[in-house]
Amino acid sequence: PVSGRPGYSQASETLRRLVVFNELNLIGKWPMKGTFDVIFCRNVVIYFDDATQEKIWSRFAPILNPGGSMYIGHSERVSGPSTGAFKTCGLTTYQRTEGGA
């Protein structure tokens, strides 16, 4: 809880050290290594054509841990070959399936 601000919370320093915010060119070379538990990609993919959207989803699938969550925009939907890698958990939330990638 945040002192003097009822209803507000702040992440601990330990948690904040685990979070990194960086710009990423979705259609360029990706600098990250390893896998993630959560991907937030909201209201971006909608601006690409269908083929590029499908390519982006297929790039997200292998870097998201099985059981991990992906949050996208209200106007976006996972499509193409990667649909088997994700299960819908709500309108804008997907979960990576065990065998999909």
- Which residue, 64, 67, 62, is CA-closest to 98? 67
Tell me the domains of the chain and their CATH numbers: 20-96 (3.40.50.150)
Number of C-alpha atoms within 13 angstroms, CB side, residue 96? 23
pLDDT in tens, the chain (101 residues): 999 999 999 999 999 998 888 888 999 999 988 899 999 999 999 999 999 999 999 999 999 999 999 999 999 999 999 999 999 999 899 999 987 66
Q: DSSP for 18-29?
A: H-------TTS-
Q: What are phi and psi of 64, to 5 degrees?
A: -100, 125
Q: Alpha-carbon dihedral of residues 7, 10, 15, 17, nearest 10 degrees?
A: 160
Q: What is the pTM of this model?
A: 0.80
